[in-house]
């Protein structure tokens, strides 16, 4: 496991709310999205520091194996009810609750415009049926209190759903524009709304309809395949599903130590780390070798779900947290890493297209090891950036063509300056304001329409950015980058929206062996949808590592809420949605 202490600067830990007790006597943090319990951050950080000293004194490390095969179905579910579509059978099953919308108020010269149900960004709901909308208007819904629509589109949307206005005016809210609607959803999670597909942006969560999705890796690829349209005034820029594309982004990947043990020593093979499905937390045990409580887990089925998300994305990214030199050393303990280059095959097979190699371990096998790592990544067809034979090479972006858009990814390290590349020396790209300005400008000149920056930064085992880190993140956006996806903390960290652009400070561990505490076992996979060069949807997928190597999805409405809660708690005053 990587241990704190390599950071040039620290940050004060924001103390969490008072912990609440579990029935078994343990204490866990109560997060803001609903009562959830976990060990307080301050306690964890303190215990890590104490355990650290003990671990270095003993010089021992024992990977812990968790989990056992299970056959339960995925815990994630759409709203209950059989798939429905607006029509005679749907309308016949509900009695009118008010006058029907007047056809004369549908705009003249209207077009069939795809519409999408939307809720607040933090919702864990994935889809709806027509019966769910009916229950809102009738007052029977326990999830939503009102349906909200933009006034100019309200009649057309209600007509498309074959629903009448409710007799209780509080169950239908009309607003003047999309901005007001998005603000209302962010303030009140009990509001359901519909928008034109062309109006959907990251402020809201777009839901599936009758089992189909318009956004995300499993979206419909043709607008005509989307089952929900309304007769509305024509869009100035009509939504075209064929112009959408997706990115999946993960955190730190380690192929040494406990991961190597699972893959090679235990013979599970190079594809094992990415073969995870779904899992749940069944309880907590005390204590790990660091004296920390850790979760006990159970697989709930869906093997290969993690790989499926990665492969289904048009572009998949992660951080490669070790060199892969030709002559590698398998480490059973310590914080010097090197990976068997043959294990890169598993990364490629999982569908990952790009890895950042700008981190505080890329030089662990020496300068020659950096060049060999680059050669081995090339051999397996993986794009990379953030290190090179010279500083100029290290600062070059990796370019990929996706959905007709050129995407550039720049990677930087701020932790291990001793591995920095020089004018004629192999090493990593160091993140400075001047460097990122020049590098983003070069990427734009090369034709990049989307620029993603992957920095290695921050404080380990702390989800909150410190002031200098936040200032640097904002400078990256000011330099012209479209988003920032950070790593190094080994915990899921804060999310910020700055000038309309997202910053993820840390996604936590993706494939790693730090099974000695709950936060180090958990991570976050991003599922991003773009329309052309514009980000239009964000989905957050919490994960937990089993068998000291393999991420599995947690139900975001169940055990995954503690991971989401850690992100949202760390994002106070940073995330307006």
What pTM value is reported for the model?
A: 0.84
Of 179, 208, 237, the position where a domain reaches its end is: 237
What is the Cα–Cα distance from 303 to 551, expressed in whole angstroms? 11
Q: Are 426 and 389 in contact (CB under 8 A)?
A: yes
Is the pLDDT at 47 greater than 70, yes or no?
Answer: no
Do 284 and 382 have their domain in common? yes
Question: Is beta strand 111-120 parallel, antiparallel or unpaired with respect to 229-232?
Answer: antiparallel
Q: How far is CA 237 from CA 197, 198, 244, 404, in A?
A: 11, 7, 14, 17
Let me know if residue 321 belongs to a domain: yes
Let me know if residue 345 belongs to a domain: yes
Q: Are 175 and 150 in contact (CB under 8 A)?
A: yes
Ordered DSSP codes for 448-513 = -SEEEEEEE-S-TT--SPPHHHHHHHHHHHHTT-SEEE-B-SSSB--EEEETTEEEES-BBEEE--
Among the listed residues 519, 526, 538, 477, the one whose alpha carbon sits nearest the alpha carbon of residue 310:
526
Do 26 and 130 have their domain in common? no
Do 158 and 275 have their domain in common? no
Q: How far is CA 416 from CA 97, 106, 147, 397, 537, in A?
A: 65, 62, 52, 20, 34
At 82 the pLDDT is 35
Do 53 and 134 have their domain in common? no
Do 150 and 292 have their domain in common? no
Longest Cα–Cα distance in the chain: 80
Let me know if residue 383 belongs to a domain: yes
Do 498 and 523 have their domain in common? yes
Q: How far is CA 422 from CA 120, 273, 391, 417, 434, in A?
A: 47, 35, 5, 11, 16
Let me know if residue 387 belongs to a domain: yes
Domain limits for position 424: 20-60+245-570
Of 215, 237, 259, the position where a domain reaches its end is: 237
Do 290 and 384 have their domain in common? yes
Let me know if residue 72 belongs to a domain: no
Of 188, 221, 237, the position where a domain reaches its end is: 237
Looking at residue 358, which CATH number applies to its domain? 3.60.21.10
- Residues of the chain with pLDDT > 70, as a percent, come to 81
- Range from 71-80, 135-144, 291-300, 399-408 carrying the lowest mean pLDDT: 71-80
Looking at residue 200, which CATH number applies to its domain? 3.40.190.10
**pLDDT tens figures, 161-207:** 999 999 999 999 999 999 999 999 999 999 999 999 999 999 999 99
Count: domains in the chain: 2
Do 198 and 289 have their domain in common? no
**pLDDT tens figures, 84-141:** 333 322 323 333 344 444 444 556 678 999 999 999 999 999 999 999 999 999 999 9
Do 210 and 154 have their domain in common? yes
Let me know if residue 75 belongs to a domain: no
Do 224 and 252 have their domain in common? no
Do 251 and 227 have their domain in common? no
What is the Cα–Cα distance from 352 to 309, expressed in whole angstroms? 10
Let me know if residue 557 belongs to a domain: yes
């Amino acid at each position: 496991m990587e241990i704190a202490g390599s950071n040039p600067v620290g940050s004060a830990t924001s103390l969490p709310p008072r912990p609440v007790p579990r029935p078994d006597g343990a204490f866990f943090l109560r997060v803001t999205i609903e009562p959830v319990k976990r060990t307080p951050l301050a306690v964890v950080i303190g215990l890590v520091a104490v355990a650290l000293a003990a671990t270095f004194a003993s010089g021992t490390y024992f990977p812990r194996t968790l989990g056992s095969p299970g056959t339960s179905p995925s815990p994630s579910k759409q709203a209950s009810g059989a798939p429905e579509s607006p029509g005679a059978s749907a309308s016949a099953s509900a009695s009118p609750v008010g006058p029907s919308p007047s056809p004369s108020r549908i705009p003249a010269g209207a077009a069939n415009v795809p519409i999408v149900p939307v809720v607040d960004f933090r919702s864990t709901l994935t889809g709806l049926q027509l019966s769910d909308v009916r229950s809102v208007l009738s007052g029977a819904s326990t999830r939503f209190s009102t349906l909200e629509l933009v006034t100019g589109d309200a009649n057309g949307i209600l007509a498309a759903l074959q629903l009448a206005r409710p007799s209780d005016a509080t169950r239908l809210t009309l607003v003047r524009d999309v901005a007001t609607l998005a603000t209302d959803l962010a303030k009140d999670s009990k509001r359901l709304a519909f928008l034109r597909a062309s109006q959907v942006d990251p402020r809201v969560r777009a839901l599936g309809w009758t089992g189909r999705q318009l956004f995300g890796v499993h979206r419909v690829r043709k607008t005509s395949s989307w089952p929900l349209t309304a007769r509305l005034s024509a869009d100035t820029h009509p939504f075209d599903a064929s112009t959408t594309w997706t990115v999946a982004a993960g955190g730190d990947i380690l192929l040494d130590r406990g991961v190597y043990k699972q893959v090679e020593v235990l013979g599970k093979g190079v594809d094992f780390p990415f073969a995870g499905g779904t899992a749940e937390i069944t309880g907590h045990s005390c204590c790990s070798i660091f004296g920390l409580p850790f979760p006990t887990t159970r697989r709930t089925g869906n093997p290969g779900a993690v790989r499926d998300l990665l492969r289904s994305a048009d572009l998949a990214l992660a951080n490669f947290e070790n060199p892969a030199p030709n002559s590698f050393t398998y480490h059973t303990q310590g914080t010097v890493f090197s990976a068997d280059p043959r294990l890169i095959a598993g990364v490629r097979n999982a569908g990952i297209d790009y890895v950042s190699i700008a981190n505080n371990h890329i030089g662990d096998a020496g300068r020659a090891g950096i060049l060999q790592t680059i050669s081995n990544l090339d051999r397996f067809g993986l794009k990379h950036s953030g290190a090179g034979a010279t500083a100029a090479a290290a600062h070059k972006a990796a370019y990929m063509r996706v959905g007709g858009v050129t995407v550039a990814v720049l990677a930087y390290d701020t932790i291990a300056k001793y591995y920095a590349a020089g004018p004629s020396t192999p090493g990593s790209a160091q993140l400075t304001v001047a460097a990122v300005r020049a590098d983003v400008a070069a990427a734009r000149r090369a034709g990049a329409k989307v620029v993603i920056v992957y920095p290695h930064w921050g404080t380990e085992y702390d989800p909150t950015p410190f002031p200098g880190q936040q200032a640097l993140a904002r400078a990256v956006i000011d330099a012209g980058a479209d988003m920032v996806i950070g790593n190094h903390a080994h915990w899921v960290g804060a999310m910020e929206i700055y000038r309309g652009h997202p910053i993820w400070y840390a996604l936590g561990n993706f494939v790693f062996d730090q099974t000695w505490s709950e936060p180090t076992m958990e991570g976050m996979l991003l599922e991003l949808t773009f329309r052309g060069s514009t980000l239009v949807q964000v989905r957050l997928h919490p994960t937990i590592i089993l068998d000291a190597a393999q991420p599995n999805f947690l139900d975001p409405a169940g055990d995954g809420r503690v991971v989401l809660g850690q992100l949202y708690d760390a994002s106070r005053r940073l995330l307006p949605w």
